[in-house]
Amino acid sequence: MSDDGRLSGEIDILVPSALGGERIDKTISLVTGVSRSTAAELLAQGRVVVDGRAVRVRSLRLVAGQRLAVEIPPQAKETPVADSTVRFAVVHEDDHLVVVEKPPGLVVHGGAGNLRGTLVNGLLWRYPELAELPRAGAGEAQRPGIVHRLDKGTSGLLVVARTAEAYRSLSRQFREHTAGREYLALVAGSVDDEVGIVEAPIGRSARARDRMAVTSLGRMARTVYQVTARYGEPFTATLLKVVLTTGRTHQVRVHLAAIGHPVIGDDRYGGSAGRPVVPGEAMSHGRFFLHAHRLELEHPEGGRIAWTSVLPPDLTDVLDRMTLLSDRLTPR
């Protein structure tokens, strides 16, 4: 067993009845302690055998009584290190948690072989006690204190746990979708309805494994939006307030693209529709117009608390260069 509690070497078991019908990647995660993404990598590498035959399809559902063998290569003990050069703003801090404002272009945490230059590295410099959380059973060594994420190209509010108790409390709130998250998104085109709901399952894309998609094999997701402002020149766009009632990977971007209004600057899900001739230089180098504007949660010590973050200068610059068609106030 590795230092972080994961099995290493090889396991060889008969699938118990309790796991009959479960996906193979989930089963591997449960019986070995590795993440679902690591389980997918083991499958892709041909390290998983079911009843004597190698399996590479992560969505395969197992049958009770099948023999499952998984080879888990030894992994070097690699953890992120503190880095004083990583810049981010602190909105709130107390003994239990810290709320930061993540700038665009900054990755929240790295993976194996890529553990430098991330928000986690900067957090460890300012809050070295975070390194002790995984030893207390609160999260993984590569992402101490992290209970949710923002994409690299997204800016805005993110909460980090400073104690094991806070980690469990915050993780539960995000898992049960009781933490409130609100985004501001500028999307391509004119959104017809003033208020709308997108309710569709999101899962890994069958065409591109590095992307998410609306798919019947995914997990149900629900996104609520409200029109905040409309713009007409130099291109037609709509500013939305977006509220998540679930928390799937790339949920805002996938759902808005699915209804024909991709986030401005989002090449991955919007293609050319997501990248019109954007005024200024804001929508370059992987940046898109998505900002985590408001965060609300139950403090681990009790009481509901909320924070808001205005649009950063690079995004307000885009709006300032466009023609406002609505008489509403634009959130800044």
Please state the separation of Cα 152 from the chain's center in Å. 9
- Look at the domain 9-72 and name its fold: 3.10.290
Same fold, 9-72 and 180-320: no
Q: Quote the CATH superfamily of domain 180-320.
A: Pseudouridine synthase (3.30.2350.10)
Count of C-beta atoms within a 10 Å radius of residue 172: 13
Per residue in 118-142, pLDDT (tens digit) is 999 999 999 999 999 988 888 888 8
Contacts for 41 with CB less than 8 Å, ≥ 6 apart: none
Q: What is the pLDDT of residues 1-44, one digit of tens each?
A: 343 334 445 788 898 888 889 999 988 888 877 777 778 888 98
Catalytic residues: 151
Beta carbons within 8 Å of 76's beta carbon, 6+ residues apart: none
Higher pLDDT, 307 or 175: 307
What pLDDT was estimated at residue 285?
A: 65
**Strand, coil or helix: what is 312?**
coil
Of the pLDDT bands very low, low, confident and very high (cuts 50, 70, 90), residue 247 is confident
The order of strands in the sheet holding 48-50 is 9-14, 67-72, 48-50, 53-54
pLDDT band of residue 289 (cuts 50, 70, 90) is very high
Q: What are phi and psi of 28, to 5 degrees?
A: -60, -45
pLDDT of residue 276: 66
Does domain 89-175 match CATH 3.30.2350.10?
yes
Domains in the chain: boundaries: 9-72, 89-175, 180-320
pLDDT tens per residue across span 296-308: 999 999 999 999 9
